Chains A and B, each alone.
Chain A
Amino acid sequence: MSVLVFLEHHDDQITKGSLAILTKAATLGDPDVAGVLVGSGVTAAASQAGKFGAVRVHVRDDDGVAAALPQPRVDVLAGLVREHGYETVLFAASVLAADVAAGLAARLDAGLNWDLVDLAVEDGELVGRRPALGDSVYVSVGWTGTPRLALFRSGSFDPSATAGGEPEVVPVDGELEDFSLAVTMVEQAHAESEGPSIEDADVVVAGGRGLGEPGNFRLVEELADALGGAVAATRAVVDAGWYPYSAQVGQTGKTVSPKLYVAAGISGAIQHKVGMQGANVIVAVNKDANAPIFEYSDLAVVADVHAVLPKLTQLVRERKGG
């Protein structure tokens, strides 16, 4: 059951998410756990993987694969699976990893299970666990053959360093497909506008598209102010330019674990949930009684944000003032 783990890196560091998957891979019973690193100047980072369970790291280090684009990575991983016969290939969820995993599935005609929160060996077979349909049901999933591909939901495991030593570093070469090199990165990872940190706040009030228009973020800001908290936002409103990226909570934004998280006009997509499920108390205001966010709220308020937020702000102020 040899395992290959896709090691994503950023600023010369293998991501925490990838190391966590490596840690998990090392518990599956087969000592043949390898990693793969693809990028420019990444060889030095390979040794970081040893402590987390990798006995071998395949490294494709050249300028042609410098940009974080999926298709050249599919070429590299497909070559490794074909040559070394890896039976399982694991990925920590990210924008890049999801596209690599799906491209690889098509290339190898291999099964891909996504959004897994766990993986274990049951009666000699690998079984994944995946919450589905707004996390209202947990599904156990398998594969009909090898290679088996899996993408894990962000934050499912923590990385844990073991006694592992220096991994064997194996350089990889091989041709890349023309179509894999067709996309160019004109500008990479540009974070727009800095803002106050939301990660350390005890109270976070978050707004989503249900606010209706950018100006209505005022309702969220006033409530946050009354509660002494910070303001957060969903990707939908950040991408639409209503609020800065620095305030975004979720898979491609920040992870917060405040004492109180108030979600206003937020549907509660899993990619948002992974950034705030660690909050102690979650209060959601949504006018749709079936909104997925209610599946994981401590207090579900079926209401129009425009009616409830101003009143709530006023009542909180009165209470704190008096």
Chain B
Amino acid sequence: MKIAVCVKYVPEGAARRIDSATKKLDRSGEGTLNPFDANAVEEALRLKDERGGEVVVVSLGPDKAADALRKALAMGADRAVLVSDQAAEGSDLVATSLVLARVLEREAPDLVVFGQQGSDSDGAVLWAAVADRLRLPVVSQAAELTLGDGSLRVKRQTEYGYDVLEAPLPAVVAVSDAINQPRYPSLKGIMGAKRKPQETLALGDAGVDRERAGWEGSRTTVLRLEPPPPRGESRRIEDDGSGAAAQQIVDFLAEKRLL
């Protein structure tokens, strides 16, 4: 069975990294594989172990995203496809979903797996847009995933408790960060990753018109940035490893009349 995993390259420690000139996330620093997507890669590898087949990771991002894809390859994915194009910069949900859908159409996998959310965007929405473009069934927030004969079964949490859902393959599924414990790449995996096929596509190669991606293809805009509303004073203490901070917590609670 062929499984595609959509993974995102995100800035390391995403907080407070807005570039005030461009009003965008400052992506100049170091980046990494979105931690939530390690769960998606892990789940795909688990299913491959069970059923055999191929795991291909797919991403839209800057050239530097190739490093993040290599981490997925080191974990055990077979192949990576990165769409990287200046004209794709600034792609919002509508544009990103279009680009990914085009690549996924070309790959025609039996299953497409997404992570829970981007650590930089907290969107937790992309899969439903991609599934609509692919005209495939979608199931989100999967906490447990089992494959049947040409179908999948998912247990997932909503506001009211747990649902059990079934969908025929091919399908799109987004997994919760509790679904598994992602493996660490082994040394052998890291060495081997360099030799695995890594393809980089421009928008044209993926079959996407330039005006449907990037700033031009996006339907949302960022107008301005402001500091968050002030919150009461916040105090910070660091423990030296001995647990001595416990006394300071007690003093704080006493001061607030909470003891």
Contact = CB atoms under 8 A, between A and B. Distances in A.
Nearest to B15: A134
A113 B233 CA distance: 31
Interface stretch (A24-32, A35-43, A168-176, A302-310): A302-310
B179 A239 contact: yes
Nearest to A69: B165
B94 A111 contact: yes
Contact of A133 (B17, B141, B258): B17
A29 to B, nearest CB: 19
A193 to B, nearest CB: 10
B168 A191 contact: no
B252 A283 contact: yes
Interface string B101-116: 0000000000000000
A112 B259 contact: no
Interface of B: 13-18, 23, 25, 92-94, 97-98, 120, 122-133, 135-141, 143, 153, 156-168, 171, 176-179, 218-229, 231-239, 241-250, 252-254, 256, 258-259
Interface string A196-220: 0000000100000000000000000
B219 A144 contact: yes
A100 B242 CA distance: 49
A135 B249 CA distance: 25
Contacts of B259: 227, 316, 319-320
Contacts of B120: 133
A298 B235 contact: yes
B165 A185 contact: yes
B245 A239 contact: no
Given A260-B253, A269-B122, A312-B249, 19 more contacts: A71-B131, A102-B125, A102-B126, A103-B129, A103-B132, A112-B92, A113-B220, A133-B15, A138-B226, A139-B225, A141-B220, A141-B222, A143-B220, A144-B220, A189-B163, A237-B178, A260-B256, A302-B239, A314-B246
B86 to A, nearest CB: 20
A110 interface: yes
B233 to A, nearest CB: 8
A14 to B, nearest CB: 14
Given A102-B129, A133-B15, A187 B163 contact: yes
Nearest to B163: A188
Contacts of A319: 250, 254, 259
Interface residues of A, number: 97
Contacts of A192: 161-162
Contact of A140 (B133, B141, B162, B223): B223
Interface centre among A289, A301, A320 (most CB of B within 10 A): A301
A12 interface: no
Contacts of B131: 71, 103
Given A102-B125, A239-B179, A300-B234, A315 B250 contact: yes
25 contacts: A68-B163, A99-B125, A103-B132, A105-B219, A111-B94, A115-B122, A127-B223, A133-B17, A136-B228, A143-B219, A143-B220, A182-B136, A183-B166, A186-B164, A235-B157, A239-B178, A245-B157, A251-B159, A301-B248, A302-B236, A303-B239, A311-B247, A312-B246, A319-B259, A320-B259
Contacts of A66: none
A298 B235 CA distance: 6
A62 interface: no
A3 interface: no
A144 B223 CA distance: 11
Interface in A89-136: 94-96, 98-107, 109-115, 127, 131-136
Question: Chain B binding site: helix, strand, loop or mixed by DSSP?
Answer: mixed
A142 B223 CA distance: 7
Interface centre among A10, A110, A144, A310 (most CB of B within 10 A): A144
A1 interface: no
A190 B165 CA distance: 12
Contacts of B233: 298
A105 B167 contact: no
B94 A106 contact: yes
A109 B219 contact: yes
Given A137-B225, A184-B166, A300 B235 contact: yes
Contact of A137 (B92, B162, B226, B231): B226
A297 interface: yes
A257 to B, nearest CB: 15
Contacts of B159: 10, 94-95, 251-252
Interface string A282-307: 01000001101011111111111001
Contacts of B138: 70-71, 99, 103, 183
Contact of B165 (A127, A131, A184): A184
Contacts of B229: 138
Interface string A231-255: 0000111111000010000011000
B235 A189 contact: no
B162 A190 contact: yes
B241 to A, nearest CB: 6
Contact of B166 (A186, A227, A238, A301): A186
A7 interface: no
A109 B211 CA distance: 13
B242 A307 contact: yes
A251 B158 CA distance: 9
